[in-house]
Amino acid sequence: MDFELTPEQQALQDLIRDFARRSIAPVARELEQSGRYPDEIVDEMKAMGLFGMLVPEAYGGIGLDAVSYSLVFEELSKAWMGIAGVLGTHSMACRIVAINGTEEQKRRWLPEMASGAVRSGLALTEPSAGSDLQSITTTARRDGDHYVVNGAKTWITNARRARVLPVLVKTDESAQPRHRGMSLLLIESGTPGFSVGNDIPKLGYRGPESSEIFFVDCKVAVDNLIGASEGQGLQQALGALEFGRCNIAGRAVGVAQAALDLALSYARERRAFGHPIADFQAIQLKLAAVATEVQAARLLTRWAAAKLDSGQRADLETGMAKFFASEVALRATLESMRIHGGYGYSAELEVERLYRDAPLMAIGEGTNEILQTVIAKLLLAT
């Protein structure tokens, strides 16, 4: 396959790289440390159309292919991975509605989601069920022309600013297999019985909030069921996660590349025993290993995204890309920190933030343990 970017993809990469250097990198540390929400950056991303990356042009979006989509996340994450989180689950919600929604739902929601006027996220995880989504206990019981929703979700990124959220619920608790009783409901902020609880204090990924949400006898119109029938929710969510793994893999490549770039420049500047530390073979071995892994992760991500763009299922490829790239990000940020010596441990330097941001990519959108079991099952099934 061809790993070269098309002229359009190259132009998009240049555009996002320039935006990230100009508007994100200079303010990332201050925003991250103060906890102030990055409103100015969000406004620029709205103006650039980035909230509509996965909204088809017919509904006001820019309908990016998967390779371009992963490039955007790579470039943003070189500057600050937290900003990528503002767009990540919002984009997945757009895709869920675009692929599975009724025509009325698409017309109602997608244009404003594309402009960023309506923000979204994705509410799957519960306090007692993350990887094992079939064990969720949030219920939606039908009562005439609406559902009555009860339950709680946790770790829901962008929840506080979301105007509408796809929420995974059980519409039939007795269904077997259990996924046949699971559906996605679009639940709007301000609906009585729906509340956003605490924002969870986090190690990193501090741009967007990740919050608890609660439903107490929350009445949701039947028209807000995504798609034509109940029982499709888990497949709809998993389909979006397959695409979303290009986002996580792209973010991981961006964080790893940023860690490598910092390590290279520090190794040239820092002197010990009368030499730049770059002269020491111990440092060179780390730089060579990290650079090789980062490029491998990038190519694996492009390969997985290209498979998705060909219209085929790509669970194996996106799983491999997300798994490998996120492990590379963990190793690259640790090695970069070690190359920085004591300074790498200081909150004054960017490498410390990269190190705190990296683990999320090994956890979110399918933990790497789960993804390895998926990869193995697919290999064994062939």
Q: Which residues bind to ligand FAD, rule: CB under 6 A?
A: 89, 121-125, 130-132, 155-157, 202, 205, 210, 360, 363-364, 367, 369-370, 373
Closest CA to 317 of 245, 373, 247: 245
Catalytically annotated residue among 74, 75, 335, 365: 365
Least gap, CB of 361 to ligand FAD (angstroms): 10
Taking the least distance from each CB to ligand FAD, the nearer of 122 and 290 is: 122
Exposed / middle / buried, residue 129 (Cβ in 10 Å: 0-12, 13-18, 19+):
middle
Partners of residue 188 on adjacent β-strands: 164
35 conformational bin, left if phi > 0, alpha if psi -120 to 50, beta if neither = left
**Is 252 in contact with 322 (CB distance < 8 Å)?**
yes
Least gap, CB of 378 to ligand FAD (angstroms): 15
177 to each of 129, 150, 182, how far by Cα in Å? 17, 22, 10
Residue recorded with tokens 């780390």: 286
Taking the least distance from each CB to ligand FAD, the nearer of 99 and 363 is: 363
Q: By beta-carbon distance, which residue lies closest to ligand FAD?
A: 130
**Is 203 in contact with 359 (CB distance < 8 Å)?**
yes
Task: Compute the distance between CA of residue 258 and CA of residue 307 in angstroms, rounded to an integer.
Answer: 26
Least gap, CB of 131 to ligand FAD (angstroms): 3
Total count of residues recorded for the chain: 382
Residue recorded with tokens 């956890």: 363
Least gap, CB of 122 to ligand FAD (angstroms): 5
Partners of residue 187 on adjacent β-strands: 165
Taking the least distance from each CB to ligand FAD, the nearer of 23 and 318 is: 318
3-state secondary structure 34-85: HCCCCHHHHHHHHHCCHHHCCCCHHHCCCCCCHHHHHHHHHHHHHHCHHHHH
Taking the least distance from each CB to ligand FAD, the nearer of 339 and 371 is: 371
Taking the least distance from each CB to ligand FAD, the nearer of 7 and 201 is: 201
Radius of gyration for the alpha carbons in the chain, expressed in angstroms and rounded:
21
Least gap, CB of 65 to ligand FAD (angstroms): 24
Closest CA to 125 of 73, 173, 168, 64: 168
Least gap, CB of 250 to ligand FAD (angstroms): 17
Which residues are CB-contacts of 34 (< 8 A; sequence separation ≥ 6)?
A: none
For the question of residue 365 being annotated catalytic, the response is: yes
Taking the least distance from each CB to ligand FAD, the nearer of 27 and 238 is: 238
336 to each of 24, 211, 217, 255, 260, how far by Cα in Å? 21, 31, 50, 11, 6
Q: Nearest 5°: phi and psi at 214?
A: -130, 145
Least gap, CB of 159 to ligand FAD (angstroms): 7
Which two tokens mark 9? Answer: 């993809």
Taking the least distance from each CB to ligand FAD, the nearer of 171 and 247 is: 247
What are the catalytic residues? 365
